[in-house]
Every structure is written in C-alpha cells, then in structure tokens.
Structure 1
Amino acid sequence: GHRLVDSDGIINPKAFYNYLSAWATNDALAYGASQGNLKPQPQRWIHSPEDVHLEIKKSSPLIYTQLPFYLSGLSDTDSIKNLIMSVRELCLKYEAKGLPNFPSGIPFLFWEQYLYLRTSLLLALACALAAIFIV
C-alpha cells in the first residue's frame, strides 16, 4: 500500500502537492495555526462529505516556505547548543538534496553566534600575536 511518509521521513513526492492543498486548507491545527508562509499560496481544497471522488488539485511548486519552530525545554546552554547543531545538521542534509533552507528564530539569531566563539577568539588572538611579532 501507499504511505503518506516513507521510512526516511519523506512525503510521497508524486502526491506531495496534492497533500499540500488538503493540508493547508483542512487541517486546523497545522498550516493555519503554524503562522507559516508558503509562496505561492497552496491551492484551496475544502473537503465535502458529498465528494466521493476526492479529487484534490495540485498546488503550484513552492518557491519559498517559512515555518516557525515551536521549542520548549531549552533551559540551559547545552540544550540550546544541541538544538542548534541538530537543526543545522538537518538543514545541511536537505541542502545537499538541493533544498536551500534558512532556519531563523531566537536560538539561531542570538545563541548561534556563541557556538564558535572560542574558535573565533583564538583565531583573532593568533592574528593579533602574529601581527605583533611580524611587525
């Protein structure tokens, strides 16, 4: 049989844009409540009990999507660092498949700059010391 999502977590590519039409207009707790932003807007499809054919029109291919993260349990630096590293790892996986993506939000805007702070400080110190001894 057909599954909505395969064992790798990938939505069936042949039906994705049909599913998108149904999801964006019929799942009250999904797209509408997510404060997401999809461009172009998905095709509107409203389920009707009288519709026995269930023909769901495909939405146009997406050129831009923005879906916020809803995060909880981030009470210390280690949990925030682990979150950022996990999301970045996932982003790289999909960028390698041709899907550029740019996570945003407070963890990425505020905390991410501190992930490589030690490395950056050591590099700056090394450059300063090199400049002192070379000049």
Structure 2
Amino acid sequence: MSNEVVTAYFAAFNRGDTEGMLDCLSDDIAHHVNEGAIRTGKDKFRAFCDHMTRCYQENLTDIVVFVNDDGTRAAAEFIVNGTYLATDDGLPEANGQTYRLPAGSFMSLEGGKITRVVTYYNLADWVRQVS
C-alpha cells in the first residue's frame, strides 16, 4: 500500500489534481516546503497548491520511488519540468520561462496515508534558469 499511495500522489500532481493529492494525505499532514515554513493540515496544503498552480505549470518525469521495508517512509527522485507563469513573491519576474530541475521528496507514511512531505530542489539553479 505504501508504494501505491506515493505513486497515486505523484500521478495526481501530474494531472493537476489537488483533490487527488489531498486524498493521499493524512488530515494533519506536515508539509515541509523547500526553504520555507512547515505547513500543517490539508487546508494549508490546499492553499499552497492553489498558489503553485497560479505561479507555475509543472510536470514530473523520471520518477523513482523508494519505500523502506516496513512501509513507514518513502522517498522519490524526479525531474521537475515547468513553466513560470506568474511572478512569485521575492523571485525573478515571470514571463513564461521554462525550467528543468532535479528534485526529491521524502515522506512519512501511516495507515495508508502520507503524513509528512518534504521536498527539496536547488533554488539557485531554478533562479539561474528563469533569470
């Protein structure tokens, strides 16, 4: 079940299906944003997704998922292929620039749900690509 929920989460991401992503998460999801604060709960995760949808169009490729033996932790490595749609606060001005960026996510799993998501990517590389 662990691999399935992680795979379903990324499939929903690629469909732009925030509700599908939320279905994979526990109600008290701890979302650790790259170089940002920890957001707790589905409402804050939904707000983050709404913001991201406004500013970015992204598709993940080359996804490889790893799950530990007892199914309580997972990791995924992937490539983010994106378009910068609208200027995000404190970042370069958007004008439809495209980018390709390696990234990774780490997850905690319990009861068939993702309880923690931590995503990392190289922000300096992203800034260089869109500047």
Greater strand share, structure number: 2
Name the structure, 1 or 2, with higher relative contact order (CA <8 Å, separation 6+).
Answer: 2
TM tier, smaller: under 0.3
> What is the TM-score of this pair, normalised by structure 2?
0.27
Greater helix share, structure number: 1
